Amino acid sequence: MNNHPNITEISNQLVEDFSLFDNWEDKYEYLIDLGKKLPPMAAEFKTEDRKIKGCQSTVWLYSEHKDGRIYYQADSEAIIVKGLVSMLVKVLSGQKPEDIVSTTLDFIEKIGLQSHLAQTRANGLNAMIRQMKLDAAIIGN
């Protein structure tokens, strides 16, 4: 039996963590800290075919299917983007493919990120989410 928290539980924890900060400067600092805590991605996974299309910054994503769950590794050279992808990895990694595909990831809106990201970053975030869901759909079948 796997006691891995589900997407909603992890998402709610992130919303709660972000709510501890009063202003967006502090929230961005927290986002950067999340990126710094992202486990390092193996160099062999940083290949052209693993770059996420639609991101202005370089973002690599590696997806692995193990024991009926999807596990992600990701990295970016941009510190804010690395924080964004680290949140997605935190929420989605270790989940069942069907749960990843069907989730709405409303924590992004609850935190207020969508309205505080530049349009290019918001597009990049959406591209990351699309790729993670696509990988889950493909690998999960």
Residue whose tokens read 């409303």: 106
Give CA torsion, residues 126, 110, 115, 97, to 10 deg: 0
Active-site residues: which are they? 55
Q: What's the rounded Cα separation, in Å, for the pair 90 and 51?
A: 19
Phi, psi dihedral angles at 69 (to 5 degrees): -130, 160
Q: How far is CA 78 from CA 28, 95, 116, in A?
A: 13, 26, 17
Which tokens belong to 114?
């969508």
- Residues with Cβ within 8 Å of residue 81, at least 6 apart in sequence: 35, 55, 57, 59, 121, 124
Q: What's the rounded Cα separation, in Å, for the pair 54 and 121?
A: 10
